Amino acid sequence: MKTLKIGIASYENMKARTMAIAHGTLKPKADEPKVWFTSTESFAKVLSNKNRALLAMIAATHPCSLQELAARTGRKASNLSRTLKMMEHYGFVRLHRGERGRVRAEVPYQSISLELPFSA
């Protein structure tokens, strides 16, 4: 089962980590989070119940286009497009662009794991 690991860290900690990786002083381990959020609140907004249901729908039905996904979910294509672009930014979906501007969404993971420290 392929799982995307998520981490929570302050902006300053994420910046320092990114700079250390860029300078070669830190090599991320394979089991470390691949995606980072600055707060549990921002994580919860991106992966709201509605958006998790959308991911489950995509994974289960493999829609061929954004229009097909809109019809299945009852959501407007323009809103879906915006949501999917944001989710693509975090790696939760992959968007494949086809002929005549057709967009197909794919969920590359079966689950998401959140690593949450007690202190920020």
> In the prediction, which pLDDT does 119 show?
66
Question: Could you report the per-residue pLDDT of 28-85, keeping only the tens digit for each?
Answer: 998 899 899 999 999 999 999 999 999 999 999 999 999 999 999 999 988 999 999 9
What pTM value is reported for the model?
0.82
The structural domains of the chain, with segments of one domain joined by +, span 3-115
> In the prediction, which pLDDT does 36 show?
92
Q: CA-to-CA distance for 46 and 43, rounded, in angstroms?
A: 5
Fold topology of 3-115? Arc Repressor Mutant, subunit A (1.10.10)
